[in-house]
Amino acid sequence: MKKILCTVALVSVAGSVFAGPLDKTECIAGAKPGGGFDLTCKLAQTALYEGKYIKDPMRVTYMPGGIGAVAYNAVVAQRPGEPNTIVAFSGGSLLNLAQGKFGKYTESDVRWLSVVGADYGAVVVRKDSPIKNLKDLAAALKADSTKVVFGAGGTIGSQDWMKAALTARAAGLNHKQMRFVAFEGGGEAISALQGGHVHVYSGDASEAASQIKAGANIRVIAVMADKRLPGELASVPTAKEQGFDVEWPIVRGFYVGPKVSDADFKVWTDTFDKMMKTKEYAKLLEERGLYPMALTGTELDAYVKRTTHNYRKLAEEFGLAGAK
């Protein structure tokens, strides 16, 4: 009997010792089901399980509040060392961190694991708009800025507002003179654009592409990427091609708690590096309207630090409350 108990104990200890970060995995989405964080978690859930990188399906849990702030604070303060828990983040998370919206914590308080894909800002008009490109937009703003109304799914300081403000500034207009209407989401803004209630929509390239496929009466005149995008918008020039020095990538990825060990962190980064190089993963990205962008570990950490620094500067330049 003692021998049997001893064997069971050894198995139990061995199980706890050798259980790795890819066992019984969990992804935290810092918002309610259905949004971008949920999409990001489910992308990893599908890619990791179907690619046989994990044995059991990844559990997705929801921790809404503050566009990711509640999840960020919970992981740093209460769950800092869980090796099998990853948390979704986006470019919006970095913008909010830069504006001090995550409380006392900064971008240095977690370990940035991986960017798994990206979307990009886009400047969108109605199909019949006299504005055919950014040069036309600049001319219209200079002629009478009160007659050009921007619309987007976000309030002042949000990503969509930033895209509009940067576009207006690149056209030579002070952002304080910009007419901007905030909507609940991108869908409402696109409806307002088609109805003629706003004249320019500063949104996301993937959303605009899917709306065009669905027959929406809109046209993308610029994408805020470093190069032209593949697929539906391949013929659309970048803002930089048109003389507007504006880029706005909307990254999607994951971080882990600050006390996750180097060894466990390396298991995750190696897994994501391998997974993101496959054809199967490329197909999953396309199905979800994301464009390829792969960063892990130290490379991603440098990107996050650089991006939040730039966002802080922008927030200060635009006089946004909370910028620090």
CATH of the domain at 192: 3.40.190.10
Q: Report pLDDT digits (tens) over 251-264.
A: 999 999 999 999 99
- In the chain, the percentage of residues whose pLDDT exceeds 90 is 86
pLDDT band at 155 (very low <50, low <70, confident <90, very high): confident
pLDDT band at 14 (very low <50, low <70, confident <90, very high): very low
- Is residue 62 domain-shared with residue 173, that is, in the same domain? no
51: left (phi over 0), alpha (psi -120 to 50) or beta: alpha
What is the reported pLDDT for 127?
96
Residues 6+ apart with CB under 8 A from 48: 22, 25, 54, 58, 271, 275
Q: Is the pLDDT of residue 169 over 70?
A: yes
Where does a domain end: 192, 213, 242? 242
* 7 within a domain of the structure (yes/no): no
* 111 within a domain of the structure (yes/no): yes
What is the reported pLDDT for 11?
37
* 187 within a domain of the structure (yes/no): yes
* 230 within a domain of the structure (yes/no): yes
CA dist 103 to 65, 89, 254, 260, Å? 12, 16, 20, 22
* 13 within a domain of the structure (yes/no): no
What is the reported pLDDT for 153?
87
- Is residue 223 domain-shared with residue 285, that is, in the same domain? no
- Is residue 259 domain-shared with residue 114, that is, in the same domain? yes
* 2 within a domain of the structure (yes/no): no
- Is residue 132 domain-shared with residue 196, that is, in the same domain? yes
Where does a domain end: 242, 257, 281? 242
pLDDT band at 186 (very low <50, low <70, confident <90, very high): confident
Q: Report pLDDT digits (tens) over 15-48.
A: 334 468 999 999 999 999 988 999 999 999 999 9
* 14 within a domain of the structure (yes/no): no
- Is residue 44 domain-shared with residue 129, that is, in the same domain? no
Q: Report pLDDT digits (tens) over 75-130.
A: 999 999 999 999 999 999 999 999 999 999 999 999 999 999 999 999 999 999 99
CATH of the domain at 261: 3.40.190.150
Q: Report pLDDT digits (tens) over 1-11.
A: 444 444 433 33
What is the reported pLDDT for 6?
41
What is the reported pLDDT for 187?
85
Instruction: Count the domains in the chain.
Output: 2
Q: Is the pLDDT of residue 12 over 60?
A: no
- Is residue 57 domain-shared with residue 100, that is, in the same domain? yes
- Is residue 306 domain-shared with residue 202, that is, in the same domain? no
- Is residue 34 domain-shared with residue 174, that is, in the same domain? no
- Is residue 26 domain-shared with residue 113, that is, in the same domain? yes
Long-range Cβ pairs for the range 55-61 (8 Å, 24+): 55/22, 55/23, 56/23, 56/24, 56/25, 58/25, 58/26, 58/27, 59/24, 59/25, 59/26, 59/27, 60/26, 60/27, 60/29, 61/26, 61/27, 61/28, 61/29
- Is residue 214 domain-shared with residue 300, that is, in the same domain? no
Where does a domain end: 198, 219, 242? 242
- Is residue 109 domain-shared with residue 254, that is, in the same domain? yes
pLDDT band at 323 (very low <50, low <70, confident <90, very high): low
* 15 within a domain of the structure (yes/no): no
Stated as kind and residue range, the H or E segment containing 222 is strand 218-223
Which amino acid would we find at residue 323? A
Q: Report pLDDT digits (tens) over 199-239.
A: 999 999 999 998 999 999 999 999 999 999 998 999 999 99
Q: What does residue 80 show for φ and ψ, rounded to 5 degrees? A: -75, -20
Q: What does residue 296 show for φ and ψ, rounded to 5 degrees? A: -140, 160
Q: Is the pLDDT of residue 143 over 70?
A: yes
User: Which structural domain range is residue 180 located in?
Assistant: 120-242
- Is residue 57 domain-shared with residue 107, that is, in the same domain? yes
What is the reported pLDDT for 184?
80
Stated as kind and residue range, the H or E segment containing 119 is strand 111-126
